[in-house]
């Protein structure tokens, strides 16, 4: 042959195109993409099949990883050993696989990115759930194909009793395409599969309720559900994944710290810590004093100690914005379908799995039917022989050899060759009466089995029933609770929705220190009776107000200049039982000329409630609560205040409630709230009470009780009747008025008759040389306690029940013995708590004194 005849002339463009397409399809089909039926790439399938052939089922002894790698490479996967070992390692990592398929013994790497030990050191066997992928493989349920050198056969796909593509996900880069399928929760996927079998026309919305989203092995949050819906409906979508971080209080020094316990899927923990450290070093992330990795066998724990002046919520937002603690996961649901890559919506993935399982069940049933029919055929021969036992024995004894006996049996009794051979192979002990009965029982049982198997093959309902039953068994055995929490908010708008809705006990001290604790914790501390609220304060400071509010409720902080600042309850530091909390002025950023006048907890800005504001000089204003719904970080004007005046008192009111105002000179005025029209935010208000020179408003309350039409005399009101006592036992309120010289009194609210707004009022308590001026008032009940504070720092805590109830126009009784030059400067009602932790609070506000 001439050399020229061995040369084939081709166009280089055609050759490159053809060769590249061949290479591309080889990578797409043979390496990078999973099959939609079993969710496995070829290398994963070959590893599991090799382990099955080696007998490495769960519960059997481990074998060296190198043994599995060698078998897999030598028999089925002619590629690098590192690639095969990396596959084994990943299938053994519980932070990579939602349901690991390999049970490893030894060092298989860590979430820190540490490499696994060499394959000669580690040992493996199949995980328990991997057996479900290989179940019924020996029953001709799937096709087999020749291996790379045509010396062996390997399965084209595994029977896969579990929906592995969805529960473990897959990722891979092919030529010109890639796949990135997130893991899901087994129970949810099985529930959706069963629902789809029962109702093939199940709506997309119902399907998404059953499978609400991915479930990553590392937990965390998925923030925003729009990306999930896009992926489930089109096969492509992007979801935002966040790590789980919580704020803790350091018991020893009162500092706050952020603790990260879960991180986004496929994030290297060391890289996360390094990225945070770099930002702190570059001063792009403020407020972090120290970073520690306290992770151990119990779980992941990254601790960020905060500086004393740091706002933990601001720091956390910066972490989400600038570090991988918040990451995007791009979903591409690409898999091999009938030998071709296809992007699949969720419904298609489920339908293809159901179709695969239907084929597996049908092929398994046919295999079992063939086996049963073959066995029945032999048993029929046994039955013929047993029915003609003496004659059969005579034929066998009279035959020259085995082939002759076989021919004679076939001719004499109409047996087939297989039946005749089976009779010849029958051992003599099977001819005993007991053994003969066993053969007949087996024959009857095999006939019933054949009938049942034929019924299965003839009934699609039974086939789907078997599929559902096997799926539910898998779910019961391997299913677990969801690890990744879904939060339906836009991650670019607010981080608040990540904070759990939880009732908190908020405490505010007289000097403006605030803190919160979970209600459950407070109950645990408080069971067994009443006692002091656990809050460390200075000697002259004390807890002035306490209320229960949700973490998502608002605290409306009013200042002396008439401005309003918003504060969410979850922004209040969560401190230990003995910590005093944080100064509220540091949480809202007051101006130098401002001080806190009042704090109101508000759950929602409804239309039916109003805010009543009263200035030091008696100007009153009422504004709808809904007018304060638009939150601004810099605050807003809640009330215009005159230059020589200041906002002092704020209360939450409802329609029909009266307003009671008491002045420094002991005057009181009560009028209907409807006398004060509702005004806009910037309005100044109207005159609530006419004050004489040097007088000022000391306190206000909103009242529900109706006043008496006729005022009683001093002598009548001074006597505490049994009726009054019963009223107090029912929790009815009285007004406690305290003067600076240590005198005070309680008066029923009904004794303050209703007047017109803008008058001089009536006498509440007599002021003068004996009593001094009024320093405070409060609406109290018999079970309450009050705290009195003097200008020398002395504190008296006394039960309200021990304070005499007298009429309105009296001098009152002595509450506290004072030195000649000592004066009372503060009054506060202390909040009692029931044993179950519920509060006995009236207005849910605290006012500056």
CB 329 within 8 A of CB 220: no
Rounded Cα distance between 117 and 95, Å, is 17
Q: Which residue has the tokens 């670019």?
A: 492
**Annotated catalytic residue within 58, 121, 352, 752:** 121
Structure tokens belonging to residue 453: 């198997």
Q: Tell me if residue 148 is catalytic.
A: no
How far apart, in whole angstroms, are the C-alpha atoms of residue 437 and residue 610? 92
Partners of 653 in beta bridges: 610
| Cβ–Cβ under 8 Å, residues 807 and 714 | yes
Question: Cα(96)–Cα(241) distance, rounded to whole angstroms?
Answer: 15
Separation in Å, CA 446 to CA 100, 375, 456, 678: 39, 8, 15, 89
Q: Which residue has the tokens 């996961």?
A: 329
Closest CA to 342 of 746, 28, 58, 664: 28
Task: Round to whole Å and give the CA distance between 382 and 376.
Answer: 10
658, 754 contact by CB (below 8 A):
yes
User: Token pair 């007047």 is at which residue?
Assistant: 755
| Dihedral angle of Cα 694, 696, 698, 701, to the nearest 10 degrees | 150
Q: Mapping DSSP to helix (H, G, I), strand (E, B) and coil, where does residue 715 land?
A: helix
The packing angle between helices 186-198 and 346-387, to 10°, is: 70
Q: Calculate the alpha carbon distances from 829 to 514, 592, 649, 697, 808 in Å.
A: 17, 29, 15, 18, 20
Taking the alpha carbons of 707, 710, 711, 714 in that order, is the dihedral positive or negative?
negative
Please count the other Cβ atoms lying within 10 Å of the Cβ belonging to residue 713.
9
Owner of token pair 């979850």: 570
Query: CA of 91: how far to CAs of 88, 94, 102, 178, in Å?
Result: 5, 8, 5, 20
Nearest CA among 83, 278, 65 for reference residue 172: 83
Alpha-carbon distances, residue 76 vs 30, 48, 338 (angstroms):
12, 11, 21
Phi and psi of 344, rounded to 5°? Answer: -120, 135
- Residue 522: phi and psi, rounded to 5, are -65, -40
Confirm if 831 and 844 have CB atoms less than 8 A apart.
no
Q: Which two tokens stand for residue 643?
A: 């230059």
CA–CA separation, 665 and 762 (whole Å): 11
Query: If you search the block for the tokens 């029929």, which residue do you land on?
Result: 380
Residues assigned a catalytic role? 121
């Amino acid at each position: 042959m001439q050399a020229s005849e061995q040369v084939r002339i081709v166009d280089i463009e055609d050759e490159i195109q053809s060769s590249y397409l061949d290479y591309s399809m080889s990578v797409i089909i043979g390496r990078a993409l999973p099959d939609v039926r079993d969710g496995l790439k070829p290398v994963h399938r070959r590893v599991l099949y090799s382990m099955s052939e080696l007998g490495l089922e769960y519960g059997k002894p481990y074998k060296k990883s190198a043994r599995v790698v060698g078998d897999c490479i030598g028999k089925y996967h002619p590629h690098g050993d590192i690639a095969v070992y990396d596959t084994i390692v990943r299938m053994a990592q519980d932070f990579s696989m939602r349901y690991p398929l390999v049970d490893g013994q030894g060092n298989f790497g860590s979430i820190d990115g540490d490499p696994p030990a060499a394959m000669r050191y580690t040992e493996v066997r199949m995980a328990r759930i991997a057996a479900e992928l290989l179940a019924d493989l020996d029953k001709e349920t799937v096709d087999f194909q020749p291996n790379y050198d045509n010396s062996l056969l390997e399965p084209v796909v595994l029977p896969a009793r579990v929906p592995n593509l969805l529960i473990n996900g897959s990722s891979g880069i092919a030529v010109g395409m890639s796949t990135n399928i997130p893991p899901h929760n087994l129970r949810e996927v099985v529930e959706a599969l069963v629902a789809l079998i029962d109702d093939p026309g199940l709506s997309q919305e119902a399907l998404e309720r059953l499978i609400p989203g991915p479930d990553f092995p590392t937990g965390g949050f998925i923030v925003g559900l729009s990306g999930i819906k896009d992926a489930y409906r089109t096969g492509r979508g992007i979801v935002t994944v966040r790590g789980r971080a919580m704020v803790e209080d350091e018991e020893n020094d009162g500092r706050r710290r952020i603790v990260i316990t879960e991180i986004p899927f496929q994030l290297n923990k060391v890289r996360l810590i390094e990225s945070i450290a770099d930002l702190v070093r570059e001063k792009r992330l403020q407020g972090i004093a120290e970073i520690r990795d306290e992770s151990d066998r119990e779980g992941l724990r990254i601790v960020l100690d905060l500086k004393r002046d740091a706002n933990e919520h601001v720091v956390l937002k910066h972490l989400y914005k600038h570090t991988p603690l918040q990451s995007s996961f791009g979903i591409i649901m690409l898999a091999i379908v009938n030998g071709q890559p296809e992007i699949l919506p969720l419904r298609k993935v489920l339908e293809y799995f159901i179709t695969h399982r239907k084929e597996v069940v049908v092929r398994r049933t046919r295999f079992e039917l063939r086996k049963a029919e073959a066995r029945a055929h032999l048993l029929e021969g046994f039955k013929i022989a047993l029915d003609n036992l003496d004659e059969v024995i005579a034929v066998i004894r009279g035959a020259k050899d085995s082939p002759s006996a076989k021919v004679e049996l076939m001719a004499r009794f109409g047996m087939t060759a297989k039946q005749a051979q089976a009779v010849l192979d029958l051992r003599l002990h099977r001819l005993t009466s007991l053994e003969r009965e066993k053969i007949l029982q087996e024959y009857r049982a095999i006939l019933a089995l054949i009938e049942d198997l034929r019924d299965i093959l003839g009934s699609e309902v039974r086939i789907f029933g078997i599929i559902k039953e096997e799926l539910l068994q898998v779910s019961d055995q391997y299913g677990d609770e969801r690890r990744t929490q879904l939060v339906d908010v836009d991650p670019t708008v607010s981080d608040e929705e990540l904070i759990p809705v939880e009732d908190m006990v908020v405490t505010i001290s007289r000097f403006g220190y605030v803190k919160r604790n979970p209600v459950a914790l407070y109950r645990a501390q408080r069971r067994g009776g009443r006692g002091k609220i656990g809050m460390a304060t200075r000697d002259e400071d004390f807890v002035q107000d306490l209320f229960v509010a949700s973490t998502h409720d608002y605290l409306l902080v009013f200042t002396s200049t008439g401005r309003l600042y918003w504060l969410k309850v979850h922004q209040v530091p969560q401190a230990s039982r003995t910590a005093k909390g944080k100064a509220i002025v540091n949480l809202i950023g007051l101006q130098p000329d401002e001080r806190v006048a009042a704090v109101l907890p508000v759950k929602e800005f409804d239309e039916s409630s109003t805010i009543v504001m009263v200035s030091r000089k008696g100007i009153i204003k009422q504004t709808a609560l809904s007018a304060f719904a638009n939150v601004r970080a810099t605050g807003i004007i809640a009330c215009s205040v005159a230059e020589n005046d200041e906002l002092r008192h704020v209360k939450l009111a409802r329609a029909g409630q009266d307003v009671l105002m008491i002045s420094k000179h002991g005057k009181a005025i009560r009028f209907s709230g409807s006398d004060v029209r509702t005004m806009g935010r910037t309005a100044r208000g109207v005159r609530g009470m006419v004050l004489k020179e040097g007088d000022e408003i000391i306190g206000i309350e909103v009242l529900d009780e109706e006043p008496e039409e006729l005022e009683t005399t001093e002598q009548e009101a001074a006597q505490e009747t049994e009726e009054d006592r019963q009223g107090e036992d029912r929790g009815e309120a009285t007004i406690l008025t305290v003067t600076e010289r240590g005198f005070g009194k309680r008066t029923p609210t009904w004794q303050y008759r209703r007047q017109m707004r803008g008058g001089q009022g009536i006498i509440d308590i007599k002021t003068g040389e004996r009593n001094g001026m009024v320093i405070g008032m409060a609406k109290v009940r018999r079970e309450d306690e009050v705290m009195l504070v003097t200008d020398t720092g002395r504190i008296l805590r006394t039960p309200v029940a021990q304070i005499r109830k007298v009429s309105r126009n009296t001098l009152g009784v002595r509450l506290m013995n004072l030195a000649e030059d000592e004066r009372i400067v503060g009054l506060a009602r202390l909040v009692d708590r029931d044993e179950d932790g519920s509060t006995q609070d009236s207005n849910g506000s605290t006012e500056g004194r």
